[in-house]
Amino acid sequence: MTMIEPERHSIVAVTNYAAGQAETFRKMLLFTVEHRGFALTAEMRAQIAECADPEKLEVWAQRAISAERLEDIFR
């Protein structure tokens, strides 16, 4: 019988949760930027796609709501 290692399972669960949060904020950010009529550069799209930090993506998504310029989002 194989035993489940709770510590390892917890790390996997936490990692998957963070990845899910990052994807949610990434989608929110892209939706908001598009809805506001901003045109992302290829570099900005890559920056968003490569970011795995849900907290940073959340900040960017919040800034996208009221940013006057696209550059203000990523400052």
Structure-block tokens of residue 64 = 């996208």
pLDDT in tens, the chain (75 residues): 455 555 566 777 777 777 888 999 999 999 999 999 999 999 999 999 999 999 999 999 999 999 999 999 998
DSSP string of 2-70? PPP-HHHHHHHHHHHHHHHHHHHHHHHHHHHHHHTT----HHHHHHHHH---HHHHHHHHHHHHH-SSG
Could you give the CA distance from residue 70 to residue 27 in angstroms, rounded to a whole number?
16
Separation of alpha carbons 55 and 66, rounded Å: 18
**Using an 8 Å Cβ cutoff, are 42 and 71 in contact?**
no
